[in-house]
Amino acid sequence: MGMRKGLLLTILGLLLAGSLLGCGLLPLLPPTQKATSGSSSVAIPTPTSEPTPTPLPPSIIEEANAEERVLIDIYKRVNPAVVNIRVVKKVRGFRFEFEFPGFPKAPEEFFQEGEGSGFVYDKEGHIVTNNHVVEGAEEVKVTFADGTMVDAEVVGTDPDSDLAVIRVDIPPEKLHTVELGDSDRLEVGQRVVAIGNPFGLEGSMTTGIISALGRTMPLGRISTVVGGRFSIPNLIQTDAAINPGNSGGPLLDLHGRVIGVNTAIRSFTGSFAGVGFAVPVNLVKKVVPVLIEKGHYAYPWLGISGFDLRPEIVKAMDLPVERGALIIEVVKGSPADKVGLRGGDKRWTVKVEGEEVPLGGDVIVAVDGVRVRGMADLISYQVMKKEVGQEMELTLIREGKEIQVRVKLGERPRE
């Protein structure tokens, strides 16, 4: 009897288990995960993974967030002061229109559009930009960050610094101005921000660093302070992306202060290739107020062109110095000519990196007691420290001997 009772309980237990399975009591699974068996769906478990926490400590994440906030704040404060400038210029040349049977046989005059950037300088409506943006413009229009578009007039231009000032007639309370920094206090590696309108894309911001200081434009080895195309000293080199349309826009430090005016790029394609240049703001401080007052800026003028000393030159001339500026040419009638500075002799040359350099000229090694390493230092000192009519003492190496010459600076020719 006992055995029969135990067997009965076992059979009942098996029947009960089968009954429960038939009611669908399965392990709990996500409702969307199902497998099919025949005509019925059966849910199956899926593996779950825990999110991997960042290995960086919270302090570093917070530091990155702080930098983001700095950049966001700069943009919010400065972008309202940055403008888009559109110009219409009359040009003469060939219009390449594909009209059968061919192109025009002679050049013609036609209008061409261009654009650049600028920033509001003061509450009187003066805007700083590049000279090459507005040079020769028949019409200038300015668009502000809020979409306001107005006509502008050209107040003053300076091709030698590639700076220009235009003016708009807008109530002062609607104008946002910028703060000017100090380009003499900059350091290579310092973070910078550029705001402008590359390719017409208004209000674009890029970031980078100062990759070099003290560049001189043009970037060739021979620097000139004679009539013609003059060199721009103390250019700021940056890897912040600068493209066509950025010209005239501000280069900023992380305080949002203007430290330069974006003016050129080094590129073989016409687009940014990692090297851009900005006119230093301390030159802006000297030139812009005069452009507003007089329309042009008078530079002090010595009247020479020169070449940085190289080992080949030092050896050929048997010089007692290794750094300085060799005078290649002296402009007739210039201040340099009047005090007897000597240029090179084209019959006596040495080849430096494939270029024939005339030798025998004076070598400038100091200005007012300040040593110069080459033409860039000489140009920078003359432009930034001197005015028209002031005297400058030059220390020269002439025929192996050191002499001093005082020269009264004239006004740089404008043509």
- Residue 303 near residue 331, CB atoms below 8 Å: yes
Range of the domain at 371: 300-411
pLDDT-derived band at 61, boundaries 50, 70, 90? confident
Please determine, for residue 31, whether its predicted confidence score (pLDDT) is greater than 70.
no
**Into how many domains does the chain fold?**
3
pLDDT bin (cut points 50, 70, 90) of residue 21 is very low
Helix (H) or strand (E) holding 58: helix 58-78
Q: Which of 174, 195, 220 represents a domain boundary (last residue)? A: 174
- Give yes or no for residue 42 having a pLDDT over 60: no
pLDDT for residue 54: 64
Decide if 75 contacts 256 (C-beta within 8 A): no
Cα gap 381→337, rounded to integer Å: 20
What is the per-residue pLDDT for 269? 72
Residue type, 246: N
- Under the banding of pLDDT at 50, 70 and 90, the label for residue 285 is very high
Distance between CA 274 and CA 208 in Å, rounded?
Answer: 10
Whether 133 and 229 map to the same domain: the answer is no
If asked whether residues 164 and 184 sit together in one domain, one would say no
CATH number for the domain spanning 129: value is 2.40.10.10
Q: Decide if 356 is inside a domain.
A: yes
Instruction: Report whether pLDDT(273) > 60.
Output: yes
Are 199 and 135 in the same domain? no
Q: Is 68 a member of any domain?
A: no
Higher pLDDT, 216 or 3: 216
Long-range contacts from 146-153, C-beta under 8 angstroms, 24+ separation: 146/80, 148/174, 152/85, 152/127
The stretch 183-209 carries a mean pLDDT of: 95
Task: Give residue 278's identity as a one-letter amino acid code.
Answer: A
User: Last residue of a domain, which of 174, 192, 225?
Assistant: 174
Residue 103 has pLDDT above 60, yes or no: no
By three-state DSSP, how is residue 127 classified? strand
Mean pLDDT of 196-213: 94
Residue 216: the pLDDT is 84
Same-domain check for residues 323 and 372? yes
Q: What is the DSSP letter of 268?
A: S
Please check the confidence at residue 144 and state whether its pLDDT lies above 60.
yes
CATH number at residue 404: 2.30.42.10
**Residue 27 within any structural domain of the chain:** no
pLDDT number for residue 355: 87
Q: What percent of the chain has pLDDT over 90?
A: 67
Instruction: Read off the DSSP letter of residue 95.
Output: -
Whether residue 16 is predicted with pLDDT greater than 70 in this model: the reply is no
Residue 200 within a domain: yes
Which of residues 262, 286, 310 is at a domain's end? Answer: 286
Q: In whole angstroms, what is the distance from residue 265 CA to residue 240 CA?
A: 11
User: Quick one: pLDDT at residue 105?
Assistant: 58
> Helix, strand, coil % (nearest 5) of the chain?
25, 40, 40
Does 25 map to a domain? no
**Amino acid found at 391:** E
Angstrom distance (rounded) from CA 232 to CA 235: 7
Query: Is pLDDT at 14 greater than 50 in this prediction?
Result: no
Please state, rounded to an integer, the average pLDDT across all residues of the chain.
84
Q: How many residues does the chain have?
A: 415
**Which active-site residues does the annotation give?**
132, 162, 247
- Considering the domain architecture, whether residues 170 and 186 belong to the same structural domain is answered as no
Q: Is residue 251 part of a domain?
A: yes
- Domain membership of residue 194 (yes or no) is yes
Structural tokens at position 243: 């493209």
**Nearest Cα to Cα of residue 195 among 259, 134, 131:** 259
Residue 194 buriedness (CB in 10 A; 0-12 / 13-18 / 19+):
buried
Q: How many CB atoms lie within 10 A of CB 361?
A: 26
| Per-residue pLDDT tens digits for 290-341 | 999 999 999 999 999 999 999 999 999 999 999 999 999 999 999 999 999 9
Lowest mean pLDDT among 162-171, 245-254, 260-269, 374-383: 260-269
Per-residue pLDDT at 89: 86
Is residue 1 predicted with pLDDT exceeding 90?
no
- Positive or negative, the CA dihedral 108, 113, 117, 123 is positive
291: in domain: no
Placement of tokens 């007739």 in the chain: 332
Q: What is the average per-residue pLDDT within 224-248?
A: 79
Determine the pLDDT at residue 230.
Answer: 73
